[in-house]
């Protein structure tokens, strides 16, 4: 299979303590890759290194054939990397549709002058973005909420709205940082079905998650971090039976 993302021995330290230490992995086009590990394992730091919100101290990141480890977040977003951060981050006072339209900013082609003067090119682009945002809301089951304030959405639907906003950027790689955190059982099930649908469409995804059953259901392969190091990698079945994983991450479940 074609590799979309290659992480080449990246490392990042804070105050002399490594959060990510020499992590290497390759994510194939169309794959859903889970990244798991105990608290403090370096999962979110790894995602921030991939999205560009942190720069690695050493190592390389390649996206397709292009090296991206020194590109800023907006440049990576233009290349098709979108991230849904842990916790709901919405633009308050805006409708669900307006929130999702913000996700398309990375791929807009016309600048401030065109927008100010309402030139035809800008109007066409705005109509295209609006249509894409409505389609993204439809994909996550929120089309009926399009013109309502995003502030009134329940937490599970706020999480789905974040996914819709990321999808509006037309990503090739979608990073989901603990998307099920804090959700009730019904909301987790709706989120799982959403991720399964995106997986069926062939979207490449990386998923940080604590819920082992959630990961086993959704992931093609799992990478396990512990104290910033990659300690295991394989299918959910292989990871479940790995002694190092049981010791580092599944100890409470196995006990």
Distance, in Å, from the CA atom of 150 to the CA atom of 174, rounded to the nearest integer, reads: 22
DSSP characters for 153-213? S-HHHHHHHHHHHHHTT--SEEEEESTTTT--HHHHHHHHHHHHHHHHTT-EEEEE-S-HH
- The closest alpha carbon to 202, from 168, 174, 183, belongs to 174
Strand partners, 28: 3
Per DSSP, helices labelled H in the chain are 43-51, 73-79, 96-102, 112-117, 120-139, 155-167, 185-200, 212-218, 236-240, 243-248, 251-254
Is pLDDT of 107 > 90?
no
- The closest alpha carbon to 88, from 137, 36, 161, 184, belongs to 161
Distance, in Å, from the CA atom of 158 to the CA atom of 225, rounded to the nearest integer, reads: 28
Residue 72 domain boundaries? 3-254
What's the total number of domains in the chain?
1
Please report the pLDDT score of residue 118 as a whole number: 57
Distance, in Å, from the CA atom of 165 to the CA atom of 66, rounded to the nearest integer, reads: 25
Please report the pLDDT score of residue 115 as a whole number: 46
168 Cβ neighbours under 8 A, 6+ residues apart: 100, 101, 103, 104, 129, 132, 133, 136
Distance, in Å, from the CA atom of 65 to the CA atom of 181, rounded to the nearest integer, reads: 34
Is pLDDT of 85 > 60?
yes
Q: Is the pTM of this model over 0.85?
A: yes
CATH number at residue 112: 3.40.50.300
Is pLDDT of 116 > 80?
no
Quick one: pLDDT band at residue 117, thresholds 50, 70, 90? very low
């Amino acid at each position: 299979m074609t590799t979309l993302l290659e992480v080449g021995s990246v490392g990042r330290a804070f105050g002399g303590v490594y959060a990510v230490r020499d992590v290497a992995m390759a994510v194939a086009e169309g794959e859903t890759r889970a990244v798991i590990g105990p608290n403090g394992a370096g999962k979110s730091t790894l995602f921030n290194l991939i999205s560009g919100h942190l720069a690695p101290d050493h190592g390389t990141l390649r996206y397709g054939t292009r090296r991206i480890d020194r590109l800023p977040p907006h440049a990576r977003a233009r290349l098709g990397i979108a991230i849904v951060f842990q916790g709901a981050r919405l633009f308050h006072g805006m409708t669900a549709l307006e929130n999702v339209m913000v996700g398309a900013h990375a791929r807009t082609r016309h600048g401030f002058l065109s927008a100010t003067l309402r030139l035809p090119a800008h109007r066409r682009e705005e109509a295209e973005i609006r249509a894409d945002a409505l389609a993204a809301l439809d994909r996550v089951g929120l089309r009926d909420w399009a013109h309502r304030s995003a502030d009134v959405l329940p937490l599970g639907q706020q999480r789905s709205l974040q996914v819709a906003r990321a999808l509006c950027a037309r990503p090739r790689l979608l990073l989901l940082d603990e998307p099920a955190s804090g959700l009730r059982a019904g909301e987790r099930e709706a989120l799982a079905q959403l991720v399964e649908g995106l997986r069926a469409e062939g979207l490449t995804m990386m998923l940080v998650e604590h819920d082992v059953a959630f990961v086993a259901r959704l992931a093609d392969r799992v990478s396990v971090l512990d104290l910033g190091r990659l300690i295991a990698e394989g299918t959910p079945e292989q990871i479940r039976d790995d002694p190092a994983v049981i010791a580092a991450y599944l100890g409470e479940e196995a006990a």
